[in-house]
Structure 1
């Protein structure tokens, strides 16, 4: 049986949907279970828990995470474009270069906005 097109995609999606449940089931079967009073505490390190479990994080940590994701996604989009750059320019001319400058310009506007709002200042 030779899978092509949508049948291969359907098989891949089915495998992706089943894999997490399969892994959790296998871990339940093979894990070693020796419950003790110490393991039932909050931490397994042997230290007595102290303080409140609810800790408020400053918003700046989330801002840094969002900015990291923004520029990480930029890299994900730039890499395939750079790999196929020669073929793109040969077939489409200057259009891919102009398109990438627009993409980078939009990201730079986001960076300038974050900079003006002091989202990059660590306090």
Structure 2
């Protein structure tokens, strides 16, 4: 029983250190901001700093579905590139099966792009 508990000791020490550090990284900035007065909002702190003019719409408005669709398409083709580069480096040693599998993958992505294009998913008004 003592051997099993001794085996878990490094894990418990690691978890304790992680808990202490995460609490410190979250709690210390909040404590310091309270002590230095950084938590007191005023007009200058609440002013617009990104675009330079006040927001003209409610920030809780929903985005158009096309925005999400374009974002999903971007992620899909970004993943394609992430799969394509390592494959291109090792394709010589992998043989014909890997080449055929990648061509099927690329054809599927091309068909998906053509479908999205025909449905008007890539058009922005």
TM-score category, normalised to shorter length: 0.5 to 0.7
| Structure 1 unpaired stretches of 5+ | 1-10
**Distance (Å, rounded) in 2 between the aligned partners of 1:71 and 1:57:** 22
Matches within 5 A, 1:1-123: 22-23=21-22, 25-30=24-29, 32-33=32-33, 34=37, 35-38=39-42, 44-47=45-48, 51-89=57-95, 94-123=96-125
How many residues get paired? 102
Between 59-68 and 45-54, the greater mean CA deviation after superposition? 45-54
The structure having more radius of gyration, on CA atoms, is 2
Stretches (4+) displaced over 6 A: 18-21
TM-score in terms of structure 1 length: 0.66
RMSD: 3.2
Q: Taking CA–CA contacts closer than 8 Å with sequence separation of 6 or more, which of the two structures ends up with the larger relative contact order?
A: 2
**How much does 1:86 deviate?**
1.8
- Could you tell me how far 1:58 is from its partner in structure 2? 1.1
Q: Residue by residue, what CA displacement relative to the aligned partner does 1:57-90 show, whole Å, maximum 9, x if unpaired? A: 111111110000000111111111112112112x
1:38, CA displacement in angstroms? 2.2
* CA displacement at 1:103 relative to structure 2: 0.4
Greater share of residues in helix: 2
The TM-score, its normalising length taken from structure 2, stands at 0.65
